[in-house]
Structure 1
Amino acid sequence: MSSHHDHQKGLLITAIGGLVLTFDIPLIRLADGSPWTIMMLRTGTTLIATLLIWVAWRTLRGNVPKLIPGWSGLAAAICYGLTSITFVTAVYHTSTADLVFILAFNTVFAALLSWLFLRERPRLGTIIAMLAMIVGVLIIVGGSVGTGKLFGDFMALCSAFFVALAITISRASRKDMGFTALVGVVFPLALAAFVVSGEGLHVNAPWWIIFNGAVIMPISFFCLAAGPKYISGPEVAMFYLLETVLAPVWVWLVFAEAPARHSLVGGTILIVTLVAHSLWQLHEGRKRRAALAVGHPA
């Protein structure tokens, strides 16, 4: 009964995190400012909110995780910081559909990095899924050639890589890095503040990006980081897909930005592949648990 309750709790927490994250890009667009100003306000408010949460946690409970746990934590924080820079840059140089579809490619990078550094050889089903996703990304990027969006697509691909690298470092260290992704914004914050000090603030609706950094980012990252405590990796991955599916919908409703045909084709390949692969992993996990139960009866 307790296990079932924990599973339901994990599904609810992760669903909230995935759903809240879908509003990140629309709020960046609504703020209507220069990339460096948006980056400074987004990362600055995220850092302030994170430190307030950390201090409150430490005061009330005392067993708060470290903000940056050792050298591995610093490496992961730098990766998350680089992700913030490339992500915001991509928002301004490519379409929302291209961005979120390419970000889903982080699963391929994560599998490759785990294979190279953690010696976790992917199974045949995962290799097939990786090849299909590579085809999907090539279709998206190929359609951007000559449209002025190629640089933005490259920045999105860099974001996917840095996220995968941070996840690999976290898994290798086996340390609690719940706050590391949020504290990592100090690096892009310092860079953005330096640039803005020279060019000045340029934002027409700052309340949107302040709300994004102070509320949306902490809630989404905290919930998505807490999810794996209660549910499996494939189930968590399914909720990350909410941004891939819903962010382009919100942008289409608010800004009337319809995805290009090549984006829809490549994105469909990515989404279908991820869903199929996650369902396959869940099925394989249940089979292994059933085999263990038969082999070790109570």
Structure 2
Amino acid sequence: MQDQLPAAAEHRKGLLITAFGGMMLTIDIPLLRLSQSDAWSALAVRSTLTFIAALIAWSVIRFVFKRQMPLIPGKAGLLVVSLYSLASITFLMAVFNTTTANLVFILAFNPMFSALLAWWLVGEKPKPQTFVAMLVMLFGVLLIVSDGIKAGNLTGDLFALVSSLILATAITFSRKARTDMGFAPLFGALVPAIVGLTMVGGVSGLAVAEPAWLVLNGLIVIPISFWCLATGPRYISGPEVAMFYLLETILAPIWVWMIFAEAPTLIGLIGGAIIITALVGHSLWRLLSHRRTVRTLAPRHPV
């Protein structure tokens, strides 16, 4: 009984943290487009600012709140940092080399990759309900992109596929390590920053028409969202964390429609509703399942 109560509370905490991070991440692509920059410039600026934000946050936690927190938590942390670094590069390349529809469709394989990797590496066999939820969400994504998938660029599609696999691997190893990986993707931004600056030939080669949007993205949106999503695996399973990344699939096209007047089709709206329903339904099922377990194990007073 005493073990089940903390488990349920930890799971709820993980769901809330991860959901908030997923919501924040939904405005990433619109902010990148608003910056009117090229791929390498966006990678360099966004990654540099994210790394600076991570250093500031880590310094405050360590020196102001006196909490000991390693920059990289051991070998597992180094591996996760490396994976997030690669994922940042491949994601930015996908953003600028394929359509948004193709990108979010391919990224929707993240939960499937995470479920399979968690089963293989962590021994967490997914519940049948998790597989059902993933299949429903993939069906919703297929509806969203069914009209425009042929317009995508093959190179960008491959970048998106690799990004999805790398991200799922990072989530799985974070789950396996069972340690605080909140800063892993943030410090992992250093490598993409160096790569981006190298590709544009240094600071003088940066081409960003509207830098304020990249500043907002790099200093606030990405640090908060990535910290939440990287912290989630401490409390919930990898496939569950991966499913919250799909919020970007639903909401990013809506933000693009509001900002750039690119109206989604009726099929796209239906697909988004299907994905939201599956995601919310699965999360509610997990919460209710924990509560039922707690009630079953609770000691009963004698009549």
* Same fold per superposition (TM over 0.5): yes
1:205 to 197, 210, 220: 210
1:39 Cα offset (Å) = 0.3
- Following superposition, the deviation at residue 138 of structure 1 comes to 5.5
CA RMSD of aligned residues (A): 3.7
Question: Is 1:293 paired with 2:298?
Answer: yes
1:49 aligns with 2:14: no
1:70 maps to: 74
Of 119, 122, 126, the residue aligned with 1:122 is 126
Range 30-39 or range 91-100, more displaced: 91-100
> Is 2:184 the counterpart of 1:186?
no
The number of residue pairs the alignment matches comes to 296
**C-alpha displacement of 1:9:** 8.1
Residues in 2 aligned to 1:10 and 1:135: alpha-carbon distance in whole angstroms: 26
SS of alignment partner, residue 169 of structure 1: helix
1:276 to 281, 286, 295: 281
How far 1:64 moved relative to its partner? 3.4
Counterpart for residue 3 of structure 2: none
Equivalent residues of 1:54, 1:64 under 8 A apart = no
CA 1:216/1:133 → structure 2, altered by over 3 Å: closer, same or farther?
closer
Q: 2:259 is matched with which residue: 254, 257, 264?
A: 254
Corresponding residue SS for 1:177: coil
User: CA 1:170–1:286 in 2, change beyond 3 Å: closer, same or farther?
Assistant: same
Return the alpha-carbon distance in structure 2 between the equivalents of residues 211 and 233 of structure 1: 28
Give, in angstroms, the shift of residue 223 of structure 1.
4.1
Tell me whether 1:171 sits opposite 2:213 in the alignment.
Answer: no
Instruction: State the alpha-carbon separation in 1 of the partners of residues 7 and 119 from structure 2.
Output: 31
Report Cα offsets for 1:24-46 as digits up to 9, x if no partner: 11110011011000000000010
8 Å CA contact retained: 2:10, 2:235: yes
CA distance in 1 between counterparts of 2:160 and 2:60 reads 34
Q: What amino acid sits opposite 1:63 in the alignment?
A: R
1:86 match? 90
Structure 1 gaps of 5+ residues are none
The residue type equivalent to 2:297 in the other structure is: L
TM-score (norm 1): 0.82
What is the identity, as a one-letter code, of the residue corresponding to 1:109? Answer: F
Greater displacement, 278-287 / 7-16 = 7-16
Deviation at 1:196, TM superposition (A): 0.9
The CA distance in 1 between the partners of 2:275 and 2:158, in whole Å, is: 17
Q: Residue 93 of structure 1: SS of its match in structure 2?
A: coil
Whether the 8 Å contact between 1:16 and 1:220 is mirrored in structure 2 is: yes
Cα distance change on mapping 1:233 and 1:197 into 2, 3 Å: closer
Superimposed CA distance per residue, residues 203-240 of structure 1 (whole angstroms, 9 cap, x where no aligned partner): 21122112210122122233445567789989977865
CA contact (8 A) 1:115 1:121 kept: yes
State the Cα deviation string for residues 95-118 of structure 1 (Å, max 9, x = none): 334434543432221111011111
Identity of counterpart residues, as a percentage?
A: 51
Distance across 2 between alignment mates of 1:197 and 1:220: 29
Q: What is the CA deviation profile of residues 75-94 of structure 1, one whole-angstrom value per residue up to 9, with x for unaligned ones?
A: 11111111111221222233
Q: In structure 2, do the counterparts of structure 1 residues 120 and 258 end up closer, same or farther at CA, with 3 Å as the change threshold?
A: same
Distance across 2 between alignment mates of 1:141 and 1:19: 21
Give the Cα separation in 2 of the matches to 1:263 and 1:78: 35
Is the contact made by 2:101 and 2:149 (CA closer than 8 Å) also made in structure 1? no
Moved more, 69-78 or 9-18: 9-18
Partner Cα separation in structure 2 for residue 296 and residue 121 of structure 1: 36
Encode CA deviations 1:258-298: one digit per residue, 9 max, x unaligned.
3467755655544433333223222322222222225899x
Q: Aligned partners of 2:131, 2:8: CA distance in 1, in Å?
A: 32
Where 1:257 maps in the other structure, the secondary structure is: coil
Q: Which amino acid aligns with 1:160?
A: S
AA matched with 2:43: M
Q: What residue number does 1:243 align with?
A: 248
Instruction: Identify if the C-alpha distance between structure 1 residues 85 and 68 changes in structure 2 by more than 3 Å, giving closer, same or farther.
Output: same
1:219 to 217, 224, 230: 224
Looking at structure 1, the residues matched to 266 and 58 of structure 2 have their Cα atoms a distance apart, in angstroms, of 44
Indicate conservation of the 8 Å contact 1:37/1:202, yes or no.
yes
TM-score by length of 2: 0.81
Cα distance, 1:197–1:77 mapped onto 2, change above 3 Å: same
CA distance in 2, matches of 1:46, 1:203: 17
- Residue type of the alignment partner of 1:74: L
